[in-house]
Amino acid sequence: MFHAKKPSSMNGSYENRAMCVQGDSGLVLTTDPKPRLRWTVELHDRFVDAVAQLGGPDKATPKTIMRVMGVKGLTLYHLKSHLQKFRLGKQPHKEYGDHSTKEGSRASVMDIQRNVASSSGMISRNMNEMQMEVQRRLHEQLEVQRHLQLRIEAQGKYMQSILERACQTLAGENMAAAAAGGGGGYMGNLGSSSLSAAVGPSPHPLSFPPFQDLNIYGNTTEQVLDHHNFHHQNIENHYTGNNAADTNIYLGKKRPNPSSGNDVRKALLMWSDQDQDLSGHQPFDDEHRIQIQMATHVSTDLDSLSENNCGELLERLSPRKSPLSPMLIQGMNSPFG
Amino acid sequence: MTMNHPYDDFPHLLFSNNTATATSTSSCVEQHDGISLDMDWDCDFHNLIESMMSDKGATTESPPLLPCYHGQEGIFNSSSTGSSMADELDHDVEAGESKGLRLVHLLVAAADASIGADKTRELTRVLLAKLKDMTSPNDRTNMERLAAHFTNGLSKLHKEANVQRQYGPHQHPDHVYDQVDVMLAFQMLQNMSPYINFGYLTATQAILEAVKYERRIHIVDYDITDGVQWPSLMQALVSRNTGPSAQHLRITALSRATNGKKSVAAVQEAGRRLTAFAESIGQPFSYHHCRMDSDTFNPSSLKLVRGEAVVINCMLHLPRFGHQPPNSIISFLSEAKTLNPKLVTLVHEEVGLMGNQGFLYRFMDLLHQFSAIFDSLEAGPARGFVERVIFGPWVSGWLTRIAITDDGAEVESVASWPLWLATNGFKPVEVSFANRCQAKLLLSLFNDGYGVEELGKNGLVLGWKSRRLVSASFWASCESSE
């Protein structure tokens, strides 16, 4: 039931302009030249209830809302605009969990909701929904992380086993060939034992940075976490001791980046200071292989070797999309005559 | 469209009469295929080029291509006179960058010449010889090493063309790496880049979601390689249901006759390994091998079981050293549609398929693609090994493939695989939030610079900086039930 509100208790900005009267229907209308409906808390609550009954703001229409609310004097026009505002108020928060949002848009979500829902009850209801949505997404992300870890492990185990088998087969063949007096493969001097020593107890071939050190949550959830005063600790602790005991997926720090492409001079200086493991064609003997096997697990500072960004060179050369000049295109049809 | 002729931007690459280089260049000549390159690059080469160019009907606006050596003393000519260390380093820096650019020019010129008429054959030979001098797979910069691989590839094409391709388009790599080397390099590549695993894991995730409630799963794998994709699927299946609710997995792997006996053996070996692995983790599993004798796939040669959900798995992005005719893929997908698959996973490289574009355009695109991949690889001592074992043959394989234009049989008329699928009776299957999440997570384990984009509603693309590298998309046949 609506009752008249005294002008003094209304929104300050209207005080000077409007005088509100309560009509017969109980609606509060302003008396300025263009009578505007004032959406009081009670009226809005009724509106929200009606919308909920009708299955949400997307399903409800002004007509049906009008019927359900059953308030005399409430016109389609009023409901249309109010419903639109209400929908807008709801939209941004629904998308919260899906995209990363910046500070600005998050603030505006709040603003819109405050405009639409003048009661604090409304705001807290929306916040709950938001929280639930975010928590759901977060939970899903954690699941994905856990699954990915297990899958990578499984793949690594498989690859290791096939590599072992292949090496042993090859070593076996070579030993047989050597026994028969043949030349054997290039691995002629390799016993299977030394190679499986390299392949076997070495750290897992697929070693990845630990998940807890990574920013897997991305911007959205971090902001949300900050906003809701969640503690990162809670989530990280979820993962201590989550590693498989036998395979050594230690998941160290995130890999360092290679030096940025164009600083060739710096890279050259660094190059001349260091041992060049890559120099020359090495006959691929067992020692080299073992080195490589071990070395894949170690991110060293030799990472700076990859300088000179090919991509940028090509970009400078020609705009990628355009085909080359007519002169060059000439004769492109017949290959290799 | 304003389009710069590549050489317009670099006038310093024009012919320059730098006698100081004479000493260094003459030391680089060699006998090559019976044509003596013992000539003074500055003069004779220029004339040679000019004569060839005019034969080709070149317009005067295009400057003759010439390698210019004025910046190169720092690197090549150890007898550079009395310059200080700093000067040499300065030279090196400029030389490094300008050398890279020069290499690209030379490569493009060589590619262009290689498809020209007979008269440019000599030009090609000369350019390739030059490139060989300037590059090596062990050089220090990405561009140099990459150029070496491209040079090798082009050289091979050139040789094959001379031999009139009597062996067909198949690969005869001059250095066949041992199977163990290849496997090792493949494994290392997975540590150095998410390129391979992006395809595998994204597809696997989509499969898991599609078959969540199926009792029996049948995967038809177009190119199983070593079976590396499947252990993670098996692990996921085992962890989510065991015992009476266990899902039964069946994999049928195809081998194509065009790839020879080796591929049959490889497919069978993959089967043995997967069976062993499945047993070790307790996943109900069976494996079948289906031989495609010609390039046409016959679904009736598959063994089907009632009530099973069929999944078609098509990984086209792996380093391929042999030739993969698009017709065989087309046939496979068209016929597979009749099986009413619940899901079709397609992963392919973002290169090569360009409909009717010519060789040179595709060559440039290939260069861009591999540059991006090269730049994106994690550095490390193993890198040179991976580049030699995997990238060399990979580049050669691609070059052969794009060199084969419409002789009739091998037309790559497919502009893009997703487009083909969309217009041939397949409907898109949406990518889930979990899948997107997983992809981002995977990328976060590697260099910055990788990114994942959405490809419509049903796909994800892995890119490096601004270059798309590999995409994964998901489909179902239009008649299959949800």
Identify which of A175-184, A245-254, B250-259 has the greatest average pLDDT: B250-259
Q: What angle do CA B5, B9, B15 make, to 5 degrees?
A: 95
Q: Which of B4, B5, B140, B272 to mutate to test the interface with A (most CBs of A within 10 A)?
A: B140
Chain B residue numbers touching A287 (CB-CB < 8 A): none
* Of the listed ranges A240-254, A308-322, B210-224, the one predicted with least confidence: A240-254
CA-closest candidate to residue B108, choices B150, B144, B138: B150
Cβ of B364 within 8 Å of Cβ of A299? The answer is: no
- Answer yes or no: are the C-beta atoms of A58 and A89 closer than 8 Å: no
> pLDDT tens, B4-39?
444 333 333 333 333 333 333 333 333 333 333 333
A173-189: average pLDDT: 55
> pLDDT tens, B109-159?
888 887 776 657 778 888 888 888 888 877 778 888 888 899 888 888 887
Between residues B303 and B40, the one the model is more confident about: B303
B276-304: average pLDDT: 89
Judged by phi (left if over 0) then psi (alpha if -120 to 50, else beta), residue B472 lies in beta
> pLDDT tens, B233-285?
999 999 988 777 889 999 999 988 776 777 888 899 999 999 999 999 999 99
Q: Where are the domains of chain A?
A: 34-89, 140-176
Between residues B91 and B201, the one the model is more confident about: B201
Between residues B431 and B295, the one the model is more confident about: B431
Chain B residue numbers touching A337 (CB-CB < 8 A): 117-118, 161
Q: Which of B136, B146, B200, B375 to mutate to test the interface with A (most CBs of A within 10 A)?
A: B375
Residue B369: pLDDT over 70: yes
Query: Residue B117's closest chain A neighbor by CA?
Result: A337
E strand or H helix that includes residue B309 = strand B308-315
**Rounded to a whole number, what is the distance in Å from the CA of B201 to chain A's nearest CA?**
8
Cβ of A163 within 8 Å of Cβ of B187? The answer is: yes
Cβ of A308 within 8 Å of Cβ of B101? The answer is: no
Helix segments in A11-75, DSSP class H: 12-15, 41-53, 62-69
What one-character-per-residue DSSP string does B183-213 give? HHHHHHHHHH-SHHHHHHHHHHHHHHHHTTT
Residue B349 pLDDT: 87
Residue B105 pLDDT: 87
CA-closest candidate to residue A47, choices A112, A116, A124: A116
> Considering the domain A34-89 in this protein, what is its CATH number?
1.10.10.60
Q: List B256's β-bridge partners, or say none.
A: B292
Cβ of A158 within 8 Å of Cβ of B381? The answer is: no
Chain A residue numbers touching B90 (CB-CB < 8 A): 265
Query: Residue A157's closest chain B neighbor by CA?
Result: B231
Identify which of B61-70, B90-99, B259-268, B456-465 has the greatest average pLDDT: B456-465
Residue A265 pLDDT: 39
**Rounded to a whole number, what is the distance in Å from the CA of B471 to chain A's nearest CA?**
19
Cβ of B179 within 8 Å of Cβ of A185? The answer is: no
B170-193: average pLDDT: 77
Query: Residue A206's closest chain B neighbor by CA?
Result: B191
Q: Which of A133, A137, A144 to mutate to test the interface with B (most CBs of B within 10 A)?
A: A144
- What is this structure's pTM? 0.60
Query: Residue B449's closest chain A neighbor by CA?
Result: A257
Chain B residue numbers touching A196 (CB-CB < 8 A): none
Chain A residue numbers touching B114 (CB-CB < 8 A): 336
Residue A152: pLDDT over 90: yes
Cβ of A284 within 8 Å of Cβ of B181? The answer is: yes
Which residue among B108, B157, B231 places its CB closest to the CB of A155?
A: B231
Cβ of B115 within 8 Å of Cβ of A336? The answer is: yes
Mean pLDDT of chain A: 58
B361 φ, ψ (degrees, to nearest 5): -60, -45
* ipTM of the complex, rounded to two decimals: 0.75
Residue B413 pLDDT: 58
Chain A residue numbers touching B465 (CB-CB < 8 A): 311
Chain A residue numbers touching B358 (CB-CB < 8 A): 323, 329, 332-333
Chains A, B: CB pairs < 8 Å:
282
> pLDDT tens, A24-80?
556 676 666 666 788 888 888 888 888 887 878 877 888 888 888 888 888 888 888
CA-closest candidate to residue B460, choices B450, B451, B449, B452: B452
